[in-house]
Amino acid sequence: MADAATTAALVFAMIATGRLLGAGTFFQLFEAVAVSVLAARRRTRVVAYSGFSTAVLGILLGGFGPVTQAVMAHVLGGTTGAALRRRRGVAGTIGMNLAVTWPAMSLISVGLLAVFTEIRSLWFDLARNMWNGVASILGRIGLEGAAAAGTDLLETLIGLWYVFIPLAQIPVVIVYALLVRRLGGQVLRRVDRSLGPAGDPAPSHGVGAPNPLPVRIHQARWRPADGVPWMGPLDLEITAGEHLSVVGPNGVGKTSLLHALARLGTAGFEFGDGTRDPGLGRVGGTALIGQNPAAQVLAPRVSQDVVWGILPPPGNDEITRVLSEVGLEGMEDRDTSTLSGGELQRLAVANSLLRRATVLLADEATAMLDPEGRAQVSDLLHDLSDRGTAVVQSTHRPEDTARGSTILTLGPTPAAVRDPVPTVPPSQARGEPVLVAHDVSHTHDAGSPWARPALHGVSLVLREGEMVLVKGSNGSGKTTLAWILAGLIRPTGGRVTFAGSELDGPRAQIGIAFQHPRLQMMRPTVRAEVAASSGDEDQVDDALDLMGLDPARFGDRLVDTLSGGEQRRVVLAGLVARGCRVLLLDEPLAGLDIEGRQLLARLLAVLRNRGLTIAVVTHDPEWGLGAADRTIELAGGRIVGPHRPGASDNSAPGTPTPTEGVHP
């Protein structure tokens, strides 16, 4: 699918360029060359996917002309590429194109001219005018007979156009087929040298199958970021069936260690296993589940993404079994853009299972999951090690380590406590309504066969100077609600008002912090990022100070060297410096250690006391209950329980009052 999409985009770009330059015939040759490479390396259905996609884009570009060009490029290129794949010679290539391309080209040409009679008449008139000019020249030099014979022949051919056009296309097909074969063959040889033989799911950097085990590290020392103490020395050996849990607070180098095990950035690491090939991303090799699962999504549908790059692809029964194993049963046809952060993490785990990874590296793979999901994935990782897979998982939560695993602690030993959040008395003053949702409903992919309701009749009021927790399990609709409140997507039902006026799009005074802070950081350094977000460089230092980030130490730091918690604080600093009245934080606790979670609670209390309205979206059932003014629980896209401050999420919900603006 990736190759099909890439080829479709390339062919469409050449069609558009050819029409812009008035050289469509010239560019059609190179369009067919691109398709021939795809056809030589992939199955016919992949070429069909590419052709359909290009034709749809062609309709958007300009109607039947681009569509016809797209179809013919895929027929000619697909047939010639199939001949290359089957190692047919020149005669075989010509024969296949005369059997496939010539009938298709003739049928399309004759069919279009039969339907569009005005265009046919225009072309014939152009042919007559051109010949009349030639006949006039012939008459002036005494060749009136030749001119008359030519005129009669032209009229005969026009009368039998439905026969003449197919016959005239035979030499055209032969010439194009030979040119595409010559050029496509040269490109194909270069592609095969770069990507390996057709059918490999990934480039082969070693000899034979991946051979990642055992992994041996000797006296390794590494530095997670500038200004951070060096870690190590570390001696480590990982064998088949071993389960290693790397535990430590944010910023101590857990991710650096896992990336080194995948051979992604090995500075400071000395491997004692020679040139062993980890086979990253290949079947039977090493699978890496990153902290940001959204960055690993490559296909629009769950069933497509979970098998991405696996050749031959697994059967439907195996896909269904693995998705059920990770808690995604029945989601084969879900649009990946509608998945929650926790569901995306489960999808990444499912992909690694289908790859039959020998080594599984899980970097905070449970950070986005609710308690039930964390337990499920932890048990799954333990079962994988029992089956012989070497599992290395990183976490800042000691309670997330799987049973029976070997624990490697980096940095200070984490305290075995239940994440005590500073109790900040809820605000006593009930300010004016700022952001109000009126009976909001939303359906993803509305009107399509994949339509999925996400929210049902949600009504709530966010008041000035209050902090509200929006809780619920993965997939309950929390993120969808946050995006609607931020004006990033419009609800399919109901409405949202901000400061009394209709919210019809993003507003500068409504700030949202995404689940993955790195995705909304657009500048290379901390100072530049906050300044760009706020639009006021004079506010940068004050905002960083407020977030506990020393401007002298952090101002010139590259954002990619920050820990996840530090990146979240940089995003918050930009929103505060911008003067936002409302802060919507989507899963801000994900990946934070105990110290980071406590610091976040204190920062939010300070911001609330300054009059900001804060809504925190989280799947954590206990965090913030002593500090929030209200807790709202979502389940199945519905509000099922507004809770009193400090109440447990498991307690019976109080009766909503009209002034709270919450209706289950």
Residue predicted with more confidence, 134 or 42: 134
Q: What is the arithmetic mean of pLDDT over 340-358?
A: 86
The whole-number pLDDT of residue 430 equals: 62
Specify the long-range contacts of residues 80-83, CB closer than 8 Å, at least 24 apart: 80/32, 80/36, 80/39, 80/177, 80/180, 80/181, 80/184, 81/35, 81/36, 81/37, 81/38, 81/39, 81/40, 81/47, 81/184, 82/39, 82/40, 82/44, 83/181
Per-residue tokens: 82: 């199939």
Q: Of 389, 403, 405, 407, give the one whose Cα is nearest residue 240.
A: 389
Q: Of 238, 184, 145, give the one whose Cα is nearest residue 35.
A: 184
Rounded to a whole number of angstroms, the distance between the first and last alpha carbons of the chain is 43
Are 322 and 392 spatial neighbours (Cβ–Cβ below 8 Å)?
Answer: no
Strand positions, DSSP E, 419-525: 433-444, 452-463, 467-471, 493-498, 501-502, 510-513
The whole-number pLDDT of residue 136 equals: 86
Q: What is the arithmetic mean of pLDDT over 523-527?
A: 94
Q: What is the arithmetic mean of pLDDT over 99-127?
A: 85
Q: Is 329 a catalytic residue?
A: no
For 241, 304, 319, 422, the CA distances from 316, given in Å and listed in that order, are 28, 11, 5, 49
Of all residues in the chain, the percent with pLDDT exceeding 70 is 85
The whole-number pLDDT of residue 418 equals: 43
Side-chain-side CA neighbours of 166 within 13 Å: the count stands at 15
Residue 411: partners with Cβ closer than 8 Å, 6 or more residues away: 231, 248, 249, 251, 252, 253
The whole-number pLDDT of residue 392 equals: 93
Q: Of 602, 551, 617, 607, give the one whose Cα is nearest residue 575.
A: 607
In this structure, the dihedral spanned by the alpha carbons of residues 513, 516, 522 and 526, taken in order and rounded to 10 degrees, is: 80
Q: Of 215, 272, 632, give the one whose Cα is nearest residue 455.
A: 632
Residue 409 has pLDDT above 70, yes or no: yes
**How many Cβ atoms sit within 10 Å of the Cβ of residue 1?**
20
Instruction: Please give the class, per CATH, of domain 215-409.
Output: alpha beta
The whole-number pLDDT of residue 349 equals: 87
Q: What is the arithmetic mean of pLDDT over 8-26?
A: 76
Catalytic residue among 587, 595, 633, 660: 587
Q: What is the arithmetic mean of pLDDT over 406-410?
A: 85
Measured in whole angstroms, the distance separating CA 340 from the mean position of its chain's CA atoms is 13
Q: List, for residues 480-504, the tens digit of each pLDDT value.
A: 999 999 999 999 999 999 999 999 8
- Burial degree of 142 (CB within 10 A; 0-12, 13-18, 19+): exposed
Instruction: Please give the class, per CATH, of domain 433-509+581-660.
Output: alpha beta
Instruction: Compute the distance between CA of residue 374 and CA of residue 11 in angstroms, rounded to an integer.
Output: 44
Q: What is the arithmetic mean of pLDDT over 535-549?
A: 87
Instruction: Compute the distance between CA of residue 32 and CA of residue 75 in angstroms, rounded to an integer.
Output: 8
Residue 268 has pLDDT above 60, yes or no: no
Measured in whole angstroms, the distance separating CA 4 from the mean position of its chain's CA atoms is 17
The whole-number pLDDT of residue 663 equals: 37
Residue 514 has pLDDT above 60, yes or no: yes
Residue 659's pLDDT band, with cuts at 50, 70 and 90, is very low
Q: List, for residues 66-99, the tens digit of each pLDDT value.
A: 788 888 888 998 898 888 877 788 998 999 989 9
Q: Of 42, 38, 35, give the one whose Cα is nearest residue 313.
A: 42
Are 390 and 240 spatial neighbours (Cβ–Cβ below 8 Å)?
Answer: yes
Q: What is the arithmetic mean of pLDDT over 118-131?
A: 84
Output the average pLDDT for the chain: 81
Residue 527 has pLDDT above 90, yes or no: yes
Instruction: Compute the distance between CA of residue 385 and CA of residue 394 in angstroms, rounded to an integer.
Output: 15
Q: What is the arithmetic mean of pLDDT over 527-535?
A: 90
The whole-number pLDDT of residue 296 equals: 81
Residue 155 has pLDDT above 70, yes or no: yes
pTM reported for the whole predicted model = 0.59
Are 526 and 535 spatial neighbours (Cβ–Cβ below 8 Å)?
Answer: no
Instruction: Compute the distance between CA of residue 403 and CA of residue 387 in angstroms, rounded to an integer.
Output: 15
Is CATH 1.20.120 correct for 2-195?
A: no
The whole-number pLDDT of residue 512 equals: 95
Domain positions in the chain = 2-195, 215-409, 433-509+581-660
Q: Does the fold of domain 433-509+581-660 match that of domain 215-409?
A: yes
Residue predicted with more confidence, 388 or 23: 388
Q: List, for residues 390-404, the tens digit of each pLDDT value.
A: 999 988 777 767 666
The whole-number pLDDT of residue 225 equals: 62
The whole-number pLDDT of residue 644 equals: 45
Q: List, for residues 184-217, the tens digit of each pLDDT value.
A: 888 877 776 655 445 444 444 444 567 888 888 8
Q: What is the arithmetic mean of pLDDT over 34-60?
A: 80
Prior bond of 214 cis (ω within 30°): yes
The whole-number pLDDT of residue 224 equals: 65
The whole-number pLDDT of residue 273 equals: 54
The whole-number pLDDT of residue 639 equals: 93
**How many Cβ atoms sit within 10 Å of the Cβ of residue 217?**
21
Q: Of 125, 82, 224, give the one whose Cα is nearest residue 561.
A: 224
- Burial degree of 552 (CB within 10 A; 0-12, 13-18, 19+): exposed
Residue 433's pLDDT band, with cuts at 50, 70 and 90, is very high
Residue predicted with more confidence, 403 or 648: 403
DSSP 3-state of 86? coil
- The least confident of 276-290, 427-441, 606-620, 642-656 is 642-656
Instruction: Compute the distance between CA of residue 121 and CA of residue 124 in angstroms, rounded to an integer.
Output: 5
The two beta strands, 638-643 and 630-635, are antiparallel
Of all residues in the chain, the percent with pLDDT exceeding 90 is 23
Phi-psi region of 152 (alpha: psi -120 to 50; beta: other; left: phi over 0): alpha
3-state DSSP percent of the chain in helix, strand and coil, to 5: 45, 15, 35
The two beta strands, 215-222 and 231-238, are antiparallel
Query: What's 341's DSSP letter?
Result: H
Instruction: Compute the distance between CA of residue 55 and CA of residue 65 in angstroms, rounded to an integer.
Output: 10
Q: List, for residues 446-473, the tens digit of each pLDDT value.
A: 887 778 899 999 999 999 999 999 998 8
> At which residue do the structure tokens 């309701």 appear?
453
Highest mean pLDDT among 23-27, 395-399, 473-477 belongs to: 473-477
Measured in whole angstroms, the distance separating CA 9 from the mean position of its chain's CA atoms is 17
In this structure, the dihedral spanned by the alpha carbons of residues 399, 599, 557 and 226, taken in order and rounded to 10 degrees, is: -50
For 40, 82, 307, 476, the CA distances from 86, given in Å and listed in that order, are 8, 6, 26, 51
The whole-number pLDDT of residue 187 equals: 85
- The least confident of 123-127, 286-290, 519-523 is 123-127
Residue 632: partners with Cβ closer than 8 Å, 6 or more residues away: 460, 468, 469, 470, 471, 639, 641, 642, 643, 662
The whole-number pLDDT of residue 540 equals: 92
